[in-house]
Amino acid sequence: MSVLENLQPERVFHYFEEITKIPHGSGNTREISDYLVSFAKEHGLRYIQDESNNVILFKPAAKGYENAPTVMLQGHMDMVCEKEPGSSHDFTRDALKLQVEGNYISAQGTTLGGDDGIAVAYGLALLEDDTLEHPALEVVITVDEEIGLLGATALDASPLQAKCLINLDSEEEGYLWAGCAGGMTAVSELPVRYQEETNEKWKVTVSGLAGGHSGAEIDKNRANATLLLARFLKEAKEQGAYAISELNGGLKDNAIPRTANALILAGKEEGNAIAAYAKVFTEALKKEYTGSDEGICVTVEAQGIGTEPVLHPVSQEKVLFFLLQYPNGIQKMCGFMDGLVETSCNLGITNLTPKALVGSASVRSSVGSAKKALADKIAYLTEFLGGDFQIEGDYPSWEYKQDSALRPLMVEVFREMYHREPEVKVIHAGLECGLFYEKIPGLDCVSLGPDMQNIHTTEEKLSVSSVERVWEYLLAVLKKIK
C-alpha cells in the first residue's frame, strides 16, 4: 500500500514514492537513471541518457505554445545517504521507509532525499500530463550533484535549445534564487607514522550535534564534530598523557559533521581523568552553543587493555595542529547583500588511515578569487606539514543576471497568486545553474522549490502543503511563458 496515497498533487507524490523505492545515492545512479529512461519509453518521449547516467527528457509544446521559448526544468537524481547510528539500512539495496506526520514526509532513520527527488517527481508528473499548458520542455536530470556537481559538469549541453532554466533544487518556498556560490572539494592528505603501544584503550565520542547542509546552514552556528574532537584532545593533554590510535568524523564533505570518534591509549589514572574532563568540556560547549547546537555530548569510555598502533608523537602533534588550524566555517560575509555568506569552508570528512590523515572539505564562495585564496590557504597548511593537497569537482558561481526576463515574469506570477512579493535572493549553497549558465551563453536562470527542513540529515522533512503550492505556481509560470 502506498504511504503517500491521497496526498495532493497525487501524481507528484506517486512519482516521489516510486523514486524512494530505488537506491539512488551519489555514485549509485544507474538504476534510477534507467527508471527515467523506461518512463520516457513508456510515454513516447524522446530522451538522451549519457555515459554518466544523466538523462534529458524532451516534450513538445502544448497546443498554442508552439512559438513560445523552450524551457528547461532541471534537478538531480542523487541523494545524500545518511542514517542514524545503529541503523541496518543499506542504501545500495533497500527502499526508504517513508512516514507522514501531519504536514511532513520523512524517512525512518535515514535521509529522505527530498533534495532533490521532489524535482524529479515534478518533472515526471509534468511530462506525463498532456492536459497541461506549457512551452516545449527539456527536463534535465543530472547525477552526482551532491558530490561536486559531477553530472552537470560532464553533461553535453549541445542538444539543449532552451534559453530559460527553472532549477528545482531549492528548499524554501516563497524564495526565488537568482545566483549561487561556486565551490570545490579540497582534499588534504597528511602522512603519519605509527608505533605499537600496550595500554588501556579509551573510546572518545562527540555526538548529539545538529549537523546540516554545509552551504545553506553554515551560518546557523552549528558545531563541527571533528573539530570539537580535536579541541577536546588538545585540552585533554592537561589531564594526562595519551596516544591516538584511531580518529574519524563526518560522512559527506557537504554535510556538517554530526559525530566524530577517536580511540586513544592511556593509563587507567590518566584515562579516568580525561573521562571526567569530558563532562566538564560538554557543559562548556552547551553554553557556547546555546540556541544553536546545545545537544552536544562528549564521552570517554574504557575499552579494556590492549596493544594497538598509535601515532608517533610528532605525527600526533601534526594531526592536532592541522585540525585546530583548519579554516572552517564562515570566512567572509557578502559586502553588498545583507545576511549572505560570501566565502566558507566545511571540513566534512576526516579519516585517520594506516598511512595518512585524510580530510575532505567543501569550499564555497560567490567570488572566484576568494574561493581560490581559501583553497590556497588550506593547501599551504597541508603542505607546510608535509602533506599533499588536491582540488576535486571545481564548479563556477552563478552570477546574478541584471537583465533577466524570466525572473520578473516569475515575480509577477507569484504576486498574482499570493498577493505578496517573493524574496529574490542569492544563495550560498552550490546549484547546477552556474554550470549550465557557463555552457549555454545567455541562459536565463531561476531556482525554486518547496519547504524542506534539515536536508542532508536523518531529520530531513518535506512539507506536503508546500509541495502542492509550488506545483501550482510552477504550472502557472509555464502557462504564462507564451
Catalytic residue among 116, 144, 145, 342, which? 145
The identity of residue 247, as a single letter, is: L
Residue 145 catalytic?
yes
Look up 78 and say whether it is catalytic: yes
Are 424 and 50 spatial neighbours (Cβ–Cβ below 8 Å)?
A: no
Q: 3-state SS of the chain?
A: CCCCCCCCCHHHHHHHHHHHCCCCECCCCHHHHHHHHHHHHHCCCEEEECCCCCEEEEECCCCCCCCCCCEEEEEECCECCCECCCCCCCCCCCCCCEEEECCEEEECCECCCHHHHHHHHHHHHHHHCCCCCCCCEEEEEECCHHHCCHHHHHCCCCCCCCCEEEECCCCCCCEEEEEECEEEEEEEEEECCEEEEEEEEEEEEEECCCCCECCCCCCCCCCCHHHHHHHHHHHHCCCCCCEEEEEEECCCCCECCCCEEEEEEECHHHHHHHHHHHHHHHHHHHHHCCCCCCCCEEEEEEEEEEEEEEECHHHHHHHHHHHHHCCCEEEEECCCCCCCEEEEEEEEEEEECCCEEEEEEEEEECCHHHHHHHHHHHHHHHHHCCCEEEEEEEECCECCCCCCCHHHHHHHHHHHHHCCCCEEEEECCCCCHHHHHHHCCCCEEEECCCCEECCCCCCCEEEHHHHHHHHHHHHHHHHHCC
Residue of 17, 18, 78, 342 marked catalytic: 78
What is d(CA 202, CA 268) in angstroms, rounded to the nearest whole number? 9
| Alpha-carbon span 477 to 482, nearest angstrom | 10
Angle, CA 210 vertex, CA 378 and CA 371 arms, to 5°: 25
CA distance 68 to 38: 28
With a CB cutoff of 8 Å and minimum separation 6, the contacts of 314 are: 193
364 and 371 in contact (C-beta within 8 Å)?
Answer: yes
| Measured distance between the N- and C-terminal CA atoms of the chain, rounded to whole angstroms | 40
Which residues are tagged catalytic?
78, 145
